[in-house]
Amino acid sequence: MNDNSSPRVSSFADLPTLYKAITASPEFQRAFGDPIPLSIIEPGDEPGEHTMPEPLAAQAECGAIVATIFDLFAGTRLEPLAAEIAWGFVNSFHFVASKLEKREDTLTNEIRSLARRPDLSEVYNRELEEKQILCQSTTEQRDALECMRDYAAEMYRAQSGWPWSPAKGSRASSASTATQIAVQDFLRERALEKRERFVPQGPIIVASGHAEWHDWQQVWARLDAIHERIPHMMLVSTAQRKGFDAIVAAWAANHSVPLVAYTLSGSGRAAPFARNRRLAELHPVEALLGEGSGIQANLYQVLRKAGVPIHALRKADQAPLANVPRITAQRQRRTA
């Protein structure tokens, strides 16, 4: 049956019309749907009107690339490599977004320096205005790339069964729309936005365990119970890429719960114990700890001394080896 109300597409030029007839997710609408009036794409350019990609087009193409990698390699000798290739695709968004953030920081410092020595000249006012526009434009670019990164990361999780995480650094995002504002308000908003992205608010739950942990059902059940009591919780893990911490990361991604991977700072034997003390200083409301090494035992003692309620899991209580749930396009097709 023909639907005469649907837009007709006969060429690539017609695709924007089709995309406009469908609604993108709120995140893509925020990041792509309302660009600032004037932007500067590259330092040294004159301010101008530049469009953004259509929100739904950005969302659809971003997800399609990740899914295509898994579909292309499925059932072939390249299938084991699909996750690595897809990880790199997601990481490319993260890498460029990180470069843009460093540019934002530099521009913010330059704006702050100019604000400390005000000048009534036209040259000063123009330089200050253009730096604000460039910084806001860079923020807009970063927001868009982080939005695509987060969506591609979710596609990666659905296809591989594991959450995506960067090789180093923090993963934080907030799709927002920049506006023309006074310089002091601009600087305050910039500082607040950065704080909110890297210090998310909410009751903290510390979760840490052995790298050889395999019973995901046991860990997920405890996290489910905690989440039911504390729906606005945020998780802080000890950043291991396998075992207990990886199971916690998979649960966080599956339930859209903020996760901070608290990596070691410094080197030497004292570094893990110093991290344990800093975890207690975060004032967590509860902790979920799996039995492990002496470092793990120390974390238990530090948190117990701080009066933190602890859910302790023993390795001996683990169920037989089981895989973390996977949601793959291939499985969906086989069971359809």
What sign does the dihedral 185-173-240-237 (CA atoms) show?
A: positive
The mean pLDDT values, 10 residues at a time, for the chain of 336 residues are 41 47 74 85 85 89 90 93 92 91 88 78 82 88 90 88 72 41 49 53 86 88 93 85 84 83 72 86 90 88 93 75 41 30
**Per 3-state DSSP, what percentage of the chain is helix, strand, and coil (rounded to 5)?**
55, 5, 35
Q: What is the identity of the amino acid at 52?
A: M
Query: Do 180 and 36 form a contact (C-beta atoms < 8 A)?
Result: yes
Q: Within 10 A of 259 (CB to CB), how many other CB atoms are there?
A: 22
Q: What is the DSSP string of 184-204?
A: HHHHHHHHHHHHHHHS--S-E
**Domains of the chain, each with CATH number or no CATH:** 13-198 (no CATH), 204-317 (3.40.50.10770)
Which DSSP symbol is given to 233?
-
pLDDT score at 207: 92
pLDDT score at 118: 73
Query: Do 212 and 220 form a contact (C-beta atoms < 8 A)?
Result: no
